[in-house]
Structure 1
Amino acid sequence: MTQGIQLVGFDADDTLWRSQDYFDKAQRAFEAIVGHYVDLGDGRVADALYAVESANIAVFGYGVKGMALSMIESATQITDGRISARDLHRIVDMAKDLLRHPVELLPGIREAVEAIAARFDVVLITKGDLFHQEAKVRDSGLSDLFRRIEIVSEKDAPTYARVLTEFEAGPRQFLMIGNSLRSDIAPVLALGGWGVHMPYRTTWAHETDVSITTGLERMCEVASPDALPAAVLDLATRAIAL
């Protein structure tokens, strides 16, 4: 098998373009709606929504639609069923706005992807609602840079193993770039691959719930897209030396 990194994967949301900012805005709007019925000071609104969202991932998956349904469910629970139909409709409208928000690329990301694609095969691996993710990829103007685009229901070690088999690449030949340690970095390191973590300024709590204890020598962290090409080349050099 050829030594060194041959394939570089990119996450999409909050790696290529802004996403969590819109969800955070929706969270604040949700709290304002529910705040008409309960005291927000005890902090239970955000905790209740996160608990419902986490429990519903296995049913609804990730994305706006799952978030909206979880908001409706948790709002009903938090208010003991007192929330009005009008306010429930406001939550639905909020979800529609989320699905229509513009795709805003992170500064310098196109140049970074182009630079990396000049040396390696690059693929896009993202999770979430299929229709919404397809629309964002289309509207981003980046789809032509990727050899292949994979939209999956979960990003864990078995999913990456399956995708790598389809790409005919081994884990040691693969490097993943993303903002989420849980979804983009930890499962790839567990398989023996490589990772570049590029944290975004805000991250959903679910994506921070992870501890990496092995494979740290096969990853690095960068602060912005312009640092990605150099980071990938550095890890590629290390991969050849192993």
Structure 2
Amino acid sequence: MLKSLQGKTAIVTGASRGIGKGIALRFGEAGLNVLVVSRSQADADGVAGEIGARASGLAADVSTEEGCAAMAQAALARYGAIDILCANAGIFPAAKLGEMSAADFDHVVSTNLRSTFLSVSAVLPAMTSAGAGRIIITSSITGPITGYPGWAHYGASKAGQLGFMRTAAIELAPRNITVNAVLPGNIMTEGLEGNGPDYIAAMEASVPLRRLGTPADIANAALFFASEEAAYITGQSIVVDGGQILPESLGALEAMG
């Protein structure tokens, strides 16, 4: 059993839906104060309302310095500390090479990778002053391990997060701040549900556990990285994908029986 994180304060970016919402809800269940960050105040407030009195919402664009500064200031003003940052904000629009514009590429990299750098930079003063901190990055299997047509920009941003993580972990270790990443596979979120049962069934067939993951599966890994038990782990990533990256071919899945 993990030691209690009751009373600690976590910031979760991109927390109005999907994986980010799952992380925010799980952290709330564990007794943390949660600042739910989203571009939409109404959406952020909705998730905070599901968590309860320990949570509050904030509208901020974390791809900008101003948005990240406002995020850190809000957490300190409301809760007096920033113990944990879950850098989860991300987008994944599809565009194949030859059709993808420079603006498309820049938008994805700014939202996914630049926001990670800016969010970490914004919380550093508070974590340094406290003498401890936990930073958890939501990356992906796409980019660091696998590829998928239409996601060259997304894959580059997610692989970039891991490069950032490794050096950040070295630089911040003397301050007792750890930096780790969770790499989700196919996760059942609002966006996937709209694609229908045939699409979901085809995705499930590529996963050895024969099901898609849930936001709670990712949130549990993030909670571990935030825990005291993970204090000696930094610069590491954990794949949460039901075994999706393991088969060398479709034949390997067919041979499962």
Could you state the TM-score of these two structures normalised by the residue count of structure 2?
Answer: 0.41
Higher helix share: 1
Could you state the TM-score of these two structures normalised by the residue count of structure 1?
Answer: 0.43
